[in-house]
Amino acid sequence: MNAFLFISLIVLVTLAGDYFLKVSAEHEQSFSRAAFWLGMALYALTAVGWVVAMKTMTLGAIGVYYSMMTIVLLTGLGVFVFKEAITAREVAGIGFALAAMALMRH
């Protein structure tokens, strides 16, 4: 499988894990909810994906691709699914973070 596609898959698993952790966090008994444990299981699956990716990619390459996609997708998840507000300052910060990661890209 193409390395970029594999990292994209890892990002999607992470995004799903974050979704379930956020759902769990919105309740009083966050740690006893099924959503919490599902989020944790998805994070564990992400760790497995990282180990597999590390066999063929450098940490720098993995980190750049993973970070860029995660920043954008998690922001979208927060804004569009959880109706979180985003300020112009946060948008600028995300833009600068993406620019910095693009400069580090291999």
Pinpoint the alpha helices (H) of the chain: 3-25, 34-54, 59-76, 88-104
- At residue 100, the pLDDT reads 83
Q: What is the pLDDT of residues 53-89, one digit of tens each?
A: 999 998 988 888 898 899 999 999 999 999 999 999 9
CA dihedral 45, 54, 67, 69 (to 10 degrees): -70
Write the DSSP symbol of residue 32. Answer: G
Average pLDDT over residues 1-14: 92
SS3 call for 31:
helix
Gap between the Cα atoms of 80 and 57, Å rounded: 32
Bigger pLDDT: 65 vs 35: 35
Query: What distance separates the 2 farthest-apart alpha carbons in the chain?
Result: 44
Q: What percent of the chain has pLDDT over 90?
A: 73
Q: In the structure encoding, which two tokens stand for residue 15, read together?
A: 């995004």
Q: Is a pLDDT exceeding 70 seen at residue 42?
A: yes
